[in-house]
Structure 1
Amino acid sequence: MIDSLPLFHRLSARPVIVLGEGEGAEAKRRLVERAGGVVFAELESGIAAGARLAFIAHEEDARAEADAARARAAGLLVNATDRPSLCDFTVPSVLDRSPLLVAIGTGGASAGLAKHVRLRLEAILPPSLGHLARALHAGRGRLRARFPDAAQRRRVLDEALREGGMLDPLAAGSADAVDRWLSEEAAVRQGECVTIHLRSQDPDDLTLREARWLGEADVVWHDPEVAAAILCRARADAARAPVPEDGNAEVKAAAGLTVVLRGPAEFHGA
């Protein structure tokens, strides 16, 4: 269960309200302008311009609460600096490899923790990720022409982008390999079915390989008792269903990767 839904909101040329003075308000203005938004410093003028987001950075609690209530009554989503209870949304710490962005948030629990996680990732994720993203975007037409089926395209990309794949995001030169990959080496992985015998209901007990299988699966068959926390590790758009009564999920497997999740042994009387 997650406490909030991470979203990327396009702000280019759109009005955004930023209320307040001092360092906190200036930081929010810079952030909005960096994303291409148009800052309005007054609530009424921002509402009239069609704003849908409001950042409130007043130092006084009463003033922040009053403006948050007014903005919310006008249908705006509100972020109030250092006041999580007044926030409809929070602002993550952003690792910028444009157009690839990595957002790290804690739901307002600790901005400092989010920042230091970002700093660690800064040292791991290469600047070339942006180049790779742009190259893949430029090749979308060719990929669609070669693989008209969306599920096929996803499997092709999974194979290329996995660790050690031709387009491994952390490997040097992967962005420069996109054109050759599209021309010569993109291929559909044959249908595959793997079974994961769970040792517990804790998703942290999955091995790295099991977690990768689950994250890439097109279809997930599962025993009824498998915990929701484990099922959440699968792609949101992966098809899911209980294992058939005859237990023969392999026969029913679709093309692509099918994962069968069997519950911990204690649920089967072992």
Structure 2
Amino acid sequence: MCDPRLAIVVDDDAAVARLKARGILVNAVDRPELCDFTLPAIVDRDPVIVAVGTGGASAGLAAALRQRLEALLPASLGRLAEGLFASRAAWRARYPEAGERRRAIAAALTPGAIYDPLDPRDTSGMPAEQMGSDTVTLVTMTLPSPDPDDLTLRQARLLANADRVTHGADVPAAILNRARADADRLACAAPPADLPGLTVDLRMA
């Protein structure tokens, strides 16, 4: 005999009350105040799972966001995750130091890079050796204000992935703190041009 533990109810408050009285957990559609649990909308790129929930406030909104994400996330995303998992030994061999390895993987996953997760190409078979932290990349940013909230998304992303941050003496600590905690910081008139990895140079406008 069926002994239910969960129920989903649409537009029937009396049924909600009866089920709760029996100790059954209830999801009352679009009635978050009556819900014992909610169900997120799921985007499945196995083994990558993305869940969108609104706490029961709007199933329609969660579904709309899921549909947008379905179009955004390529079908190859799951294979990329599996490829990165399978290549862990290669990453460790090429980058024995954990911090260097993490920076190299983060750089490889940035927009336009070799493992860009939103690139529809299937990059899962590309070896770790194709992405080296010994590549020299220098990005200069001219900051419009000392307020870190004025950073663009691209600027914030670059700071979060930089191996080092060079900067003028007038760049405030509030902006420098947006860089990774382990990134080198160097106040200088001009950045060195030959340091390996990603250097972000910050100058006030």
| TM-score when normalising by structure 1 | 0.51
Alpha-carbon deviations, 1:6-63, whole Å to 9, x = none?
Answer: xxxxxxxxxxx83336679xxxxxxxxxxxxxxxxxxxxxxxxxxxxxxxxx942475
Alignment of 1:259-270 (within 5 A): none
Structure 2 residue aligned with 1:145, among 73, 84, 93? 93
Give the Cα–Cα distance (whole angstroms) in 2 for the partners of residues 224 and 67 of structure 1.
Answer: 55
For the 8 Å contact 1:196–1:210, the answer to whether it is kept is no
Matching of residue 161 in structure 1 with residue 109 in structure 2: yes
For the 8 Å contact 2:136–2:197, the answer to whether it is kept is yes
Give the Cα–Cα distance (whole angstroms) in 1 for the partners of residues 111 and 125 of structure 2.
Answer: 17
Q: Read off the aligned partner of 2:90 and give its amino acid letter.
A: R
Specify whether residues 105 and 206 from structure 1 end up closer, same or farther in structure 2 by C-alpha distance, changes over 3 A only.
farther
Secondary structure in 2 matching 1:106: coil
Q: Report what 2:5 is aligned to.
A: 18
Gaps of 5+ in 1: 1-16, 25-57, 69-77, 241-247, 266-270
For the 8 Å contact 2:146–2:172, the answer to whether it is kept is no
Q: Report what 1:124 is aligned to.
A: 72
Specify whether residues 145 and 207 from structure 1 end up closer, same or farther in structure 2 by C-alpha distance, changes over 3 A only.
same
Give the Cα–Cα distance (whole angstroms) in 2 for the partners of residues 98 and 131 of structure 1.
Answer: 8
Q: Report what 2:123 is aligned to.
A: 174
Q: Report what 2:20 is aligned to.
A: 64
Matching of residue 250 in structure 1 with residue 186 in structure 2: yes
Structure 1 residue aligned with 2:130, among 185, 203, 224? 185
Alignment of 1:53-92 (within 5 A): 59-61=15-17, 64=20, 67=23, 80-82=27-29, 83-85=31-33, 90-92=38-40
Matching of residue 135 in structure 1 with residue 83 in structure 2: yes
For the 8 Å contact 2:41–2:51, the answer to whether it is kept is yes
Q: Read off the aligned partner of 2:60 and give its amino acid letter.
A: G
Give the Cα–Cα distance (whole angstroms) in 2 for the partners of residues 88 and 194 of structure 1.
Answer: 51
Give the Cα–Cα distance (whole angstroms) in 2 for the partners of residues 196 and 62 of structure 1.
Answer: 63
Q: Report what 1:50 is aligned to.
A: none
Give the Cα–Cα distance (whole angstroms) in 2 for the partners of residues 80 and 88 of structure 1.
Answer: 6
Specify whether residues 151 and 176 from structure 1 end up closer, same or farther in structure 2 by C-alpha distance, changes over 3 A only.
same
Secondary structure in 2 matching 1:132: helix
Percent same amino acid at aligned positions? 39
Structure 2 residue aligned with 1:206, among 123, 127, 151? 151
Secondary structure in 1 matching 2:78: helix
Give the Cα–Cα distance (whole angstroms) in 2 for the partners of residues 87 and 214 of structure 1.
Answer: 41
Specify whether residues 151 and 85 from structure 1 end up closer, same or farther in structure 2 by C-alpha distance, changes over 3 A only.
farther
Matching of residue 106 in structure 1 with residue 58 in structure 2: no
**CA apart distance, 1:156:** 1.3
Structure 2 residue aligned with 1:197, among 131, 139, 143? 143
Q: Report what 1:239 is aligned to.
A: 181
**CA apart distance, 1:152:** 1.2
User: What is the total number of aligned residue pairs between the two structures?
Assistant: 186
Give the Cα–Cα distance (whole angstroms) in 1 for the partners of residues 21 and 148 of structure 2.
Answer: 40
Q: Report what 1:48 is aligned to.
A: none
Structure with the bigger percentage of helix: 1
Using CA pairs below 8 Å that are at least 6 residues apart, which structure has the higher relative contact order?
2
Q: Root-mean-square deviation (CA), in Å?
A: 4.6
